Structure 1
Amino acid sequence: MPEPGRMPRLDPLAVTRARWAEQTLPGDPWPFLATGSLSRLHQIVSRALDDRLKPFELSRTGYFLLTTLSLIKGERARLGTLSRYLMIHPTTVTLTVDQLERAGLVTRERHPHDRRATLVRLTGSGLERVRQANAALQDDAAEGPLGELTGRYRKLFEALQEVRAAVGDTDF
């Protein structure tokens, strides 16, 4: 229920759907509505995630990189592997590793068998920081968009996993 004196909030994509029919635009509105929904959800969750990670002095990319390293055997990976896993440009990985290294959360080391490759290793401080960040993201008392996702994360993941597989996201 909206507060007295306030207009109820409208779903802009529901309005768009209604206007599509009124304007008699050609074609099916669902591609626009589905991709618009994904884009809006991405923006909302990204903003909320940024806010939640701020106390840990982590960017989203830094958080994803640290979490990925924590889940890899040996807690280390090549820069290129991280780029592929995270689907981000190699330069972005390098810049993020630079920031995390300055903060003492990762170190760089030579690959034991390939002189051309550099490995990124998670430090004890990095592991502790990412554990704290993950605990904060699982806080059932969280307010806002992330709080609304509590209890829905698995359902959302499973719904998107089928679509991601269909578009080839499982190919590394």
Structure 2
Amino acid sequence: MSASSPLPLDPIAEAHRQWTKHGWGDVADGMAAVTSLMRAQQIMLARVEEVLKPTGLTFSRYELLTLLTFTKTGAIPMAKASARLQVHPTSVTNAVDRLETAGYVRRTPHPSDRRTTLVEITDSGRELAVDATEKLNAQVFGKPGLAKDRLTSLVRILAELRRTAGDFENDGAAAAW
């Protein structure tokens, strides 16, 4: 449901009410939290996809290109890209296939490990990543829908949830928030 046609009531609040009414009050807050996170993800992904659509990129391909722009050499082993993006190696292979066909990346042999394939960004891939990032910064990341202090709180809470779920070790990086 788009922002231009809001519902007359919050369906998650109504689900919470129904959970409680049906005897599941002890887990109603958890249900509402999970459902809210999933709906928020849908909203944000729709906003991101709207901005990326004219570029021909999906969010996963954008993430891969952007990761490559952050590397010193513009290249990274495919397995390392999979780990950094927290996706299955098959997903990285599929993204690389599409980006390679479009001329945004190329596969190259690793200089010292014949078993490893690097994915390397091309000049046109770098230009596209920078352009897409500028658009996302202006239209989505710079206007996420919450005030700065609320964003900081949200990121801290989500980092705690992710860390508790085993998404990453507490290495002090989250302390910057």
TM-score tier by shorter-chain length is 0.7 to 0.9
Q: What is aligned with 1:65?
A: 64
Residue correspondences, number: 163
Given the superposition, is the C-alpha separation of residues 66 and 157 from structure 1 closer, same or farther in structure 2, using an over 3 Å criterion?
Answer: farther
Offset of residue 25 of structure 1: 2.5
**What is aligned with 2:160?**
162
The share of aligned pairs that are identical, in percent, is 34
1:3 corresponds to: none
Unaligned segments of structure 2, at least 5 residues: 170-177
Q: Indicate how the Cα distance of structure 1 residues 61 and 170 shifts in structure 2: closer, same or farther if over 3 A, else same.
A: same
Partner of 2:48: 49
Deviation at 1:73, TM superposition (A): 2.2
Aligned: 1:149 with 2:148 = no
Distance 1:150 1:28 in 2: 27
Check 1:168–1:66 CA distance in 2 against 1; reply closer, same or farther (3 A cut).
same
Shift of 1:148: 4.2
- 1:16-165 to 2 correspondences below 5 Å: 16-25=15-24, 27-139=26-138, 142=139, 147-149=143-145, 152=148, 154-155=151-152, 156-165=154-163
2:114 partner SS? coil
In structure 2, what is the Cα distance between the partners aligned to 1:94 and 1:104?
15
Cα separation, 1, equivalents of 2:132 and 2:155? 19
* TM-score, structure 1 as length reference: 0.83
Counterparts of 1:93 and 1:21, CA distance in 2: 42
**Aligned partners of 1:25 and 1:166: how far apart in 2?**
24
Q: Secondary structure at the match of 1:63?
A: helix
The answer to whether the Cα contact below 8 Å between 2:104 and 2:124 also exists between their aligned partners in 1 is: yes
Matched residue type, 1:161: A
Aligned to 1:15: 14
- Shift, 1:28, TM fit: 2.3
- 2:106/2:120 contact within 8 Å kept: yes
Q: Distance in 1 between matches of 2:41 and 2:142?
A: 12
Give the RMSD, CA atoms, in angstroms.
2.5
Under a length normalisation based on structure 2, what TM-score does the superposition of the two structures give? Answer: 0.81
Higher relative contact order (CA closer than 8 Å, sequence separation 6+):
1
The alpha-carbon deviation at position 128 of structure 1 amounts to: 1.0
